[in-house]
Amino acid sequence: MAAIHDGLANTGSLNESAFAKLKGRQISLGQFFGDWYDPADGGLIKLGSVTTVGGQNLSNPKLVSLENLQVASSGGPGVEVGAGGQFAYAYLNPPYGLAGTPVEIQSRFDDIREAILPKAHAATIFDWTNPSLDKVSDYFTAGKEWWGIFLFSIYIPDLQKLTIIAGSATD
């Protein structure tokens, strides 16, 4: 809790009484990554529908399967703000998009995944996300209005490594 407190204190105003009431819940690896991630192979999923310039309609394609395809349109669901989990969604859907090809985007995700959750080590993941995070810190106000808010702690006992991930953004 101290690491989360110190991190949030450096991002904006911190409401000490709201922080004291903050409750985390332990979640599984699958819940952490969420619906935009395939746990079988670690692939990112473009949840929703994609139509190519050639008229091919794809439903929930793997991101890398879109390599070398020209996308005419795509659409899909968002996440409920403050609902929790969905790290893969947060990565894939920043307010201004991601630069790179689908393979490059997947590769960067794989690197991030390995840095925060090395496959050879067990991890304990807590999700602190909730719709009232903006009352804890004004850092979360912008994201609550549009893109989303996320707050996770990941502890790897073998490495004595704690990672805190906070996300909040808007256009």
Residues in the chain: 171
Half-sphere exposure for 100 (CA within 13 Å, toward CB): 12
Sequence spans of domains, the chain: 2-44+79-169
Closest by CA to 49, choosing from 69, 70, 68, 77, is: 77
b/e per residue, 129-158, with b = 16+ CB within 10 A?
Answer: bbeebbbbbebbbbbbeebbbbbbbbbbee
pLDDT, one tens digit per residue, over 62-112 is 999 999 999 999 988 887 776 778 999 999 988 888 999 999 999 999 999
pLDDT, one tens digit per residue, over 115-141 is 999 989 999 999 999 888 989 998 888
- Tell if the pTM clears 0.85, that is, is over it: yes
